[in-house]
Structure 1
Amino acid sequence: MPLHRLLRLSPTAVLGLWHRTETAAALGALLPAGAPYSALLPPTAGPERQGQWLAGRVLAHTVAAALWPGAPALWVRNDAATGRPYLGGPGVPTGAVVSLSHSGAWAAALLATGGRVGIDVELVRDKARRIATKFLSAPELAAAQVVGTDAHFTLLWSAKETLYKLAERRGLIFKEQLLLDSFVPAPAGEIPMELRLADSQSRHRICYSQPAAGYVLTYCWEPGGPIDIL
């Protein structure tokens, strides 16, 4: 089974990475019997998309079993209003949260008992660089162009995606409300960021690494909530 890694961030939070090599049918067979995923699988998805979707759910169950031994009969659903995933089913721990992501052959999941979570994995492509003016502010764009690589622009996009998931609000404007502070790029590290909402401003630290050649991973778990800016 291509479970790549389980990373315990704390006694109450676990991150998982899955390198997908299985077919959609093989992944479906790994899901718990009776879980309602056949009805939840996107009906218009092709084989590749189905495989990504199922890998995320298989990984979520794997992480849940590591985080909560004797894991409850849970399943992953998506909120109709926001689209974000949540855990349902009998015996799900109070305050349990989940964030999922997939790109190319990789799936990522972050589960925790309480707090807020966000995770994103991205295949490095030139797309983030081509659309940079849509998600980077003018100062952010100027700083990014100094580095200039597709990998760097993909990392910045991924960091904003993770903060967007953490914020749990639709309609945020990436270049105005999800803001990057300066940092020195490295193979792994943290990116300080600021979230600007209509009623508050807060600071966050987005962790990043390279799970494999040609991919970037960003994530954040906040057990105690954000640091508000006075």
Structure 2
Amino acid sequence: MPLHSIQRLCPTAVLGLWHLTETPAELWAELPNPTAYQPLLPATADAKRQAQWLAGRRLAHRLFGEFPELSPSEVLVQNDATGRPWLAGASTETVVSLSHSGEWVAAVLARGGRAGVDVEFIRDKAQRLAGKFLAESEWEHARAVTADSATETHYTLLWSAKEALYKLAAQRGIIFRQQLLLHEFSPQTSGEIPATLVLHGAQTRHRICYTQPAPGYVLTYCYEPAG
């Protein structure tokens, strides 16, 4: 079982990482309640996507064990109309956020509050599309800090951070370059990115944690307890 790690973010939330090496058949064999999951598998998913989808559910079920009050056999990871995962059979306060890219799957499971997680394979796509998701001030800062460093990693990190904040916001129609704003930070192997979410005419401040779980990947996550 390629469970990579489980990290307790606080008493009410955990972060899990899964290093995907299995085939879909191997993942089905270990997935609780496969009969209930079979009709939920996206019909257009190829073998790679199937494995990522299944590993996300396997990881979520593993994280259920970190909260004794949950009954893993009765909980099912489903997706709402927007594609956001939710937990059927668990209390409404229990939240889950999932992400996958390449060989890595990430999840945050929490009892209350809001959560967003994103894992990304580092490539040049984010840099090529920077003008579509970065505000001008963010772009200027990115150009300054990448003058002598790996640009693909930094731009992928910025994209991933906005994805994590977008998932935490749980609202459709958000414009990344106007409503998900990242503030200046000094890029390291791991750290935090200060951010502002502009939603419904209000601005809220957030901190997005980031790290590199393996060479060639970045991971970002944000969890905020209720209240």
User: TM-score, normalised to structure 1's length?
Assistant: 0.93
Gaps of 5+ in 2: none
**Cα root mean square deviation, aligned:** 1.3
Match of 1:43 in 2: 43
Tell me how far 1:71 sits from its aligned partner: 3.0
Q: Is the contact between residue 18 and residue 59 of structure 1 (CA under 8 Å) also seen in structure 2? A: yes
Q: Is the contact between residue 28 and residue 34 of structure 2 (CA under 8 Å) also seen in structure 1? A: no
Tell me how far 1:28 sits from its aligned partner: 1.1
Q: Distance in 1 between matches of 2:34 and 2:56?
A: 17
Tell me: CA distance 1:194–1:70, structure 2 relative to 1, closer, same or farther (3 Å).
closer
Aligned counterpart for 1:117 among listed residues 115, 118, 122:
115
| Matched ranges for 1:92-107 at <5 A | 92-107=90-105
Q: Distance in 1 between matches of 2:35 and 2:58?
A: 11
Aligned residue type for 1:191: I
Q: Hey, which bits of structure 1, 4+ residues long, moved more than 2 A?
A: 67-72
Tell me: CA distance 1:134–1:74, structure 2 relative to 1, closer, same or farther (3 Å).
same
Tell me: CA distance 1:44–1:94, structure 2 relative to 1, closer, same or farther (3 Å).
closer
Aligned residue type for 1:66: E
Tell me: CA distance 1:47–1:86, structure 2 relative to 1, closer, same or farther (3 Å).
same
| Matched ranges for 1:1-230 at <5 A | 1-33=1-33, 36-68=36-68, 71-72=71-72, 73-80=74-81, 82-89=82-89, 92-148=90-146, 149-224=151-226
Gaps of 5+ in 1: 226-230
Tell me how far 1:198 sits from its aligned partner: 2.8
Deviations along 1:97-137, one digit per CA (max 9) or x if unpaired, are 00000000000000000000000000000000010000001
The count of aligned residue pairs is 222
% of aligned pairs identical? 61
Q: Distance in 1 between matches of 2:35 and 2:168?
A: 26
Deviations along 1:167-225, one digit per CA (max 9) or x if unpaired, are 01011000000001111111011000000113311000000001000000000110035
Deviations along 1:43-69, one digit per CA (max 9) or x if unpaired, are 011000101111101000001112336
Tell me how far 1:33 sits from its aligned partner: 3.0
Q: Is the contact between residue 136 and residue 174 of structure 1 (CA under 8 Å) also seen in structure 2? A: yes
Which shows bigger deviation, 103-112 or 61-70? 61-70
